[in-house]
Each structure stands twice: as structure tokens, then as C-alpha cells.
Chain A
């Protein structure tokens, strides 16, 4: 694909339809795409711009088959996301995208799928979960392992409950620190890997979370027999352009914006254990 005459840095102003508070520091924007709807593949991200404040990369977390609404779930971590959290229904937000690589959903067909998410890592995986559930018959066992820091930081609570109530999906949730009103699993998300049921000979794993969580989750998955070429993860770096021009997201020879953000462990294993690469 050669986008000859497109100005890749020109943002498109779109209307916010709905704002939903998820957690004290996390919110969801539902954005009305311009004519024709918004099409993306699970795993991709957009550059979102707040008027006069700045632009940040945010993964798309809605249903890929519902192109009439563009959904982003965002945690407040800096000045741009802070400003974004103050936007209301009817306000305008700038959108460029979608950019980047996707989850291996075609490759996963006919196989068991293990999805591991830590904290705010669940939103980038949700489009993949939607896709799998939309085409449930094409996949084998589906396992979701989710870990949050504590009960109060569990995101998409209702959806997690719905997914857990399905007979064709296995969902395990854990929190790093238990409290009096939590009666579920306690421990980091890696502790859930040994109890997940899947056929390790051909299962595909997809994960998003802090890098340290992903490093240790990989070790657990390898221990369970999933080979590195079947383990996928989404990476995060500073990005100013999203199209491989600004140079910020370089990770050795990879541009995370265009070669990633989704990589197989096999592609990046030599980098994952290098400090400050």
C-alpha cells in the first residue's frame, strides 16, 4: 500500500458521541467516524489529538465489525490524556489512523487462543476478543487471563463477568493485592498461566501489559510448551507520527508504529531482555 498523496500528519476532526468513565483514571470515548465508518484490524492504534494540547497513540478497543463507532479506552498518564479526559459528548477530537500491525487472528483459526492482559492492557486486546467471539466456531478453546493491581482497578468488569459466564470461554481474573472485599485469585497474572487449559502444541498466545509482565508471562507460556513463534505481544514507545518518520518509537531496527505494535516473541526475543534498548 502506497499512500502517495496522503498527508500522514493531517488529523481528522471527529465528533465524540459518548464518554464513559471506567475507573477514576480511565475513560472510554465513543467517536462518530466520518462517512463510510472506521475500519481497522484488531491490534491497531490511532493517533488522537486534543486541540492545542497534543497528540498520543491510543489503541483501538471497539468491535472491528461495528464500523459506525470508533472506541478508545484511555488511562490518564500525562497532559494529553488528562486533557482528553475533560472532553465531553459533542466535543471534537482529532484522529489519524489506523496504524500498525494486527493480532494474528487468521493464523489462530482452528487453534486454541490464550489471551493474557495486565491492567490497561485489556483494551488493546478487546477487539481480538470480539472478533473471536463473533466467529466463535472458527477457534478452539479460548482462554482469557486478566490481572489488575487490585479489585478497584479491574477494567471492563461487566464484560469480564459476561465472558466468564459463557460456556465456550475460560476466564481467570487475579489481583496483585487482595483486600477484604476480594474473594478471587491473588497474585500476579503469570500465576494464572499454569491453570489455563489449552493445547500447547498449537495454541496461539496474545498479550498486552507492562513490559515486565509480558517478559515473565512469556517464560510461563514457554514453560507450558507454546513456542516463541506463537506468542504475540503489543509494545509501546513514544510516538509522534505513527508512520515511521519521527524516529521516536525505534526499538533496535523495529519501528513499533509500523512494524508493530504487535510482534511475535520470536521477532523480538533478543531485544526483550536488553536494558534501555
Chain B
């Protein structure tokens, strides 16, 4: 696990009793602090200002098509794994005005939406979700055109990751090399340690900003022994992962099986409800809607998340290209695991397992890919 710890990173110990100070120093530095809360019987990412806002003593039980929050009596602040919503909603909101057009004497004029950008702190982001941000960066920042809204927000976030001590029944980060320990892409990475009635965090800091925040919260230097205890938590978590995906050659495997009968079989269960795309932390499709005021003097263009499971997604005059559920399911799965590699040089899947948990038909991407792989053996 030592590969994860770059030598230049600093390590601190933060007592659980000082966690409120951490929140205060984040907020005191001008950040809107966002983190896990319990709402509607799920972990929901929202504003956090007090330790009491955190899901203290809650864990989640996740299986295909099943999600239950449970009180487990543990003092852990981060004893859950993942909620349905990803951090994407703060950087690339589900609905956002793109521009406003207003009639003028000589026609009309267009103005880009210039909403002020608030500095945000992402407290409790998981290692797989850090990778999801790296994936979105490739899509939204590294092309010929960058998305201005995403760029403005992304450049100002403070990233406080929490390494996983528990794993969910649908996670497969180990297979995707994205967890359970954060390797890069954070200011601070916390490992929560509860032993012998003691409760503290080993905090790895990768940036000066991170050092500043953790010192304000009374973090003190960690010993090598304490650091290796934290690493042991991640190692133990990795061992608990039961779901696996064989990713060897998956890009070509799917690309050469575009007409496989499995697509049709699975589509028989798929409701094309688009849940998987909405919970996916890397799905980036958007559509645009137009609205006018009643007098028709001003109009707005609003973008909102879209899903390749809808008929509208592929609609051109005359009808939708992907008419059947088979083709829409194939589009989603092959994009994540195959064509994404061609487009961005990385996998579109980070192994968070949300699409499995939140699929009402319990369709499991790891099973689907394995089934196609197995069919080639015979």
C-alpha cells in the first residue's frame, strides 16, 4: 500500500474531537463545505457545518437493486460507503442556464449565464470518486473546448478525500485500480481509525492549502507507525471487496461483440429507466431546453443531464437511431468500458458500483461483461 504515499506528502493526526475545528477551518477559509448527510434514508451530499450533520453511526448495505441505511452504533463519521448522488452535481449541475436571449430593437442579443462561482470543499469524497473527477476533467476540460462552468468551479474546489474502511456489496474499485485508498487528486486524504476506544484520523496532505487547513484544526505530525496503521485500514478494506471485474482486454472484448445475443437478453430485463446514468459519477450527457417568457421577449437556454437510455437522445428527423432497449443498453455499457478508452485514453467506469445498486432490475455490469467474456471460451 506504500505505493500510494508519495514521499513529499505530509501526514498528521487529527483527533475526532477536533473534527469540528476542521469543519470550522474549511468554512473559515471561505469554502462552502459539502459532505455526507442523512436525508430520505440515504446518504445525500449537502451542506455540512457541524459534526452533527455527518452520518455518525450509519452504515449502508448495498447489493444489486438494494440500498439500506442502518444504524450500527459505531462512533464512525464515515462508516458508510457511497450514497446515490455523486459530486458531479456540484461541478456540472443537473440543470443550469446556459444563456439568456433578449429581444432588442435590432433583433435579439445573447448573454452567457454568469452566475458567481462559490468556492466549494468536497469533504468525504471517496477514492473512486476522485478518479471520477479525473475522468470528467478529461471530458470537460481537455478537449478543444472546455466547459466554462465546470472549469470555473473545478479550479476552486478543496478536496478532502476519505479513504474507505468499509466496502459495499457492489463496489469493485480494486478491479478498476481506483481505490480503496486515494492516491492523488486531493488536498487532504483522511483515514478514520477507531481502536481501543480511541477515535482519530490519519490525514495525508498533498498541498499547502491542505496543510493550512489541518493545522488550523490542531492536527499534529503523525508517526510512521500511525501512518502504517492507516495503510493497514486500506489494505484490509481491499481484502473485503467481493465484487471483481476482469478488465483485461475489456475494450476490445466489447468492441468485437457489438452484435452479441447477450445485449438482447439483458435488455429484456432493462427498464431503460436511466437510473444507472443518473447515479454514474462520469456520465456527462446533457440536453438543452428552450424557454420563453409569456410575451416572447426573452428566452433561456437551459442544459440538463440527459441519458442515452431515452429515445430522444439519439433522435434525428425520421426517428431515433437507438430504437430498441438492446441498443441503448449496449451504447451505455460499451461507452463506459470500451469506446471511452478510444475517446479519452482511460476507462469511463471507476468501479463505484452505483449503477448496480440503483438498477431496479439488478443488472450488474461485472456480470454482463463476464458473461460476454465467458461466451468466447465456448
Q: A interface vs B, CB < 8 Å?
A: 1-4, 6-13, 15, 49, 51-55, 77-78, 91-92, 94, 236-238, 240-241, 243-248, 250, 252-253, 255, 258, 274-277
Q: Does B101 belong to the interface (CB within 8 Å)?
A: yes
Known interface pairs A78-B317, A255-B343; A247-B308 also in contact (CB < 8 Å): yes
Structural contact, B306 and A244, CB atoms closer than 8 A: no
User: From B151, which residue of chain A is reached at the shortest CB distance?
Assistant: A4
Structural contact, A8 and B110, CB atoms closer than 8 A: no
Known interface pairs A15-B107, A52-B296, A247-B284; A94-B101 also in contact (CB < 8 Å): yes
Structural contact, A244 and B315, CB atoms closer than 8 A: no
Q: Does B103 belong to the interface (CB within 8 Å)?
A: yes
Among B307-359, those with CB < 8 Å from A are: 308, 312-318, 321-324, 326-327, 331, 334-335, 338-343
Contact residues in A for B339 (Cβ distance below 8 Å): 250, 252-253
Structural contact, B314 and A237, CB atoms closer than 8 A: yes
Q: Does B69 belong to the interface (CB within 8 Å)?
A: no
Structural contact, A246 and B287, CB atoms closer than 8 A: yes
Structural contact, B143 and A244, CB atoms closer than 8 A: yes
Structural contact, A277 and B286, CB atoms closer than 8 A: no
> Chain B's nearest CB lies how many Å from the CB of A96?
10
Structural contact, A245 and B306, CB atoms closer than 8 A: no
Structural contact, B108 and A51, CB atoms closer than 8 A: yes
Q: Can you give 7 contacting A-B residue pairs, CB < 8 Å?
A: A51-B299, A52-B291, A248-B313, A250-B308, A250-B339, A253-B340, A258-B144
Contact residues in B for A92 (Cβ distance below 8 Å): 106-108
List 4 A-B pairs, minimum CB-CB distance, nearest first: A92-B107, A247-B285, A77-B317, A276-B327
Structural contact, A277 and B107, CB atoms closer than 8 A: no
Structural contact, B335 and A51, CB atoms closer than 8 A: no
Contact residues in B for A94 (Cβ distance below 8 Å): 101, 110
> Chain B's nearest CB lies how many Å from the CB of A81?
8
Structural contact, B259 and A55, CB atoms closer than 8 A: no
Structural contact, B144 and A238, CB atoms closer than 8 A: no
A229 to B145, CA, bound (A): 29
Contact residues in A for B108 (Cβ distance below 8 Å): 13, 51, 92
Structural contact, B143 and A240, CB atoms closer than 8 A: no
A54 to B101, CA, bound (A): 12
A245 to B339, CA, bound (A): 15
A53 to B289, CA, bound (A): 9
Structural contact, A11 and B99, CB atoms closer than 8 A: yes
Structural contact, B286 and A55, CB atoms closer than 8 A: no
Contact residues in A for B308 (Cβ distance below 8 Å): 247, 250
Q: Does B292 belong to the interface (CB within 8 Å)?
A: yes
Contact residues in A for B322 (Cβ distance below 8 Å): 276
Structural contact, A7 and B148, CB atoms closer than 8 A: yes
Structural contact, A243 and B335, CB atoms closer than 8 A: no
Q: Does B147 belong to the interface (CB within 8 Å)?
A: yes
Structural contact, B306 and A246, CB atoms closer than 8 A: yes
Known interface pairs A51-B103, A237-B316; A244-B145 also in contact (CB < 8 Å): yes
Q: B interface vs A, CB < 8 Å?
A: 98-99, 101, 103, 106-110, 112, 139-140, 143-148, 255, 258-259, 284-288, 290-292, 296, 299, 301, 303, 306, 308, 312-318, 321-324, 326-327, 331, 334-335, 338-343
Known interface pairs A1-B144, A15-B107, A252-B339; A238-B316 also in contact (CB < 8 Å): yes
Contact residues in A for B98 (Cβ distance below 8 Å): 9-10
Structural contact, B284 and A4, CB atoms closer than 8 A: no
Structural contact, B258 and A253, CB atoms closer than 8 A: no
Contact residues in B for A244 (Cβ distance below 8 Å): 143-145
Contact residues in A for B255 (Cβ distance below 8 Å): 252
Known interface pairs A51-B103, A238-B315, A244-B144; A250-B287 also in contact (CB < 8 Å): no
> Chain B's nearest CB lies how many Å from the CB of A165?
34
Contact residues in B for A243 (Cβ distance below 8 Å): 143-145
Contact residues in B for A236 (Cβ distance below 8 Å): 316
Instruction: List 4 other contacts, CB 8 Å, given A9-B301, A255-B343.
Output: A13-B108, A13-B110, A238-B313, A252-B255
Contact residues in A for B326 (Cβ distance below 8 Å): 276
Contact residues in B for A52 (Cβ distance below 8 Å): 101, 290-292, 296, 299
User: From B308, which residue of chain A is reached at the shortest CB distance?
Assistant: A247
Other-chain residue from B110, B306, B334 in contact with A248 (beta carbon distance below 8 A): B306
Contact residues in A for B288 (Cβ distance below 8 Å): 54-55, 240-241, 246
Structural contact, B139 and A245, CB atoms closer than 8 A: yes
Contact residues in B for A255 (Cβ distance below 8 Å): 343
Structural contact, A252 and B316, CB atoms closer than 8 A: no
> Chain A's nearest CB lies how many Å from the CB of B302?
11
> Chain A's nearest CB lies how many Å from the CB of B16?
42
> Chain B's nearest CB lies how many Å from the CB of A46?
15
Structural contact, A7 and B112, CB atoms closer than 8 A: yes
User: From A96, which residue of chain B is reached at the shortest CB distance?
Assistant: B110
User: From B328, which residue of chain A is reached at the shortest CB distance?
Assistant: A276
A236 to B314, CA, bound (A): 11
User: From A53, which residue of chain B is reached at the shortest CB distance?
Assistant: B290
A218 to B341, CA, bound (A): 29
Known interface pairs A238-B314, A245-B145, A246-B286; A10-B140 also in contact (CB < 8 Å): no
Other-chain residue from B292, B296, B321, B341 in contact with A237 (beta carbon distance below 8 A): B321
A2 to B141, CA, bound (A): 10
A245 to B312, CA, bound (A): 17
Contact residues in A for B259 (Cβ distance below 8 Å): 274
